[in-house]
Amino acid sequence: MVQRQVDAVIEFQLDVNFGAAIMKNFDAAGVPVLAIDIPMPGAMFFGVNNPQSGYIGGTYLAQAAIAKFGQDTVLEKAYFVVGDLTQAGAVLGMRSEGQRYGIRSVLDLPDDRMITIDTTASIEQAFSQMNSVLARIPPDAPILITANNDQSVIGMLRAVNASGRGDMVVGVGMGSDEVETMVASPNMVGSVAFFPERYGNWLVPLSLAQLAGQDLPEALLISHVV
């Protein structure tokens, strides 16, 4: 992009560890950057409100579990499993923290029944990691599932279904970009929407404002609904 002498960059890349090296090149060339969802040092941040979206999803998941299994059963037996994405860094980690706070705002689950796995945001890895932790969960325990994106939740649910325990699980996704798959899955009761198809409505004007020398906030966060 620098070699092609672009005027501005709208950047998304998943691994937070590469941010400083990428920004060093853009800064040296004087190219303004908008960073989507994963922070880049010195760039304006645009995207998901991770604590809010996680909290909304966690509370919805807890309420759905109570509606399906009953509050007493959930409080006494349920396990909560969240799929994290460690390579994306602390800001995305706030999504998982929000999910945990959301669950606990409704259900006072003990620490030993709250499990975190690293799904790397993929269906395949989520399936594998969820399959590995199922042995730690009693067969009569309700399983509450959420993750950093829809794909991870789908993989985790498939692992539970493959084990023959599909009637004991409920899941809430993140992103709402797998709508057809979600609708086809009776155990995936919802997803927190990010609306990436609308990002351009903000990103293009923001980038033009950057080029015009206007002062912009350090971050602009979107609103979320289930």
Beta strands in the chain (DSSP E): 9-11, 33-36, 44-47, 79-84, 114-118, 143-147, 169-175, 188-193, 219-221
pLDDT value at residue 169? 97
**Which residue is associated with the tokens 């649910």?**
157
Whether the predicted pLDDT of 93 surpasses 90: no
pLDDT in tens, 151-200: 999 999 999 999 999 999 999 999 998 888 888 888 999 999 999 899 99
pLDDT band at 122 (very low <50, low <70, confident <90, very high): confident
Return the amino acid letter for 135.
Answer: A
Phi, psi of 39 (to 5 degrees): -60, 145
Average pLDDT over residues 85-113: 88
Whether the predicted pLDDT of 89 surpasses 80: no
User: What residues does 114 pair with on adjacent strands?
Assistant: 80
Least confident interval from 32-46, 131-145, 175-189: 175-189
Provide the pairing of β-strand 79-84 with 143-147.
parallel
Q: What is the C-alpha to C-alpha distance for residues 212 and 122, in angstroms, rounded to an integer?
A: 39
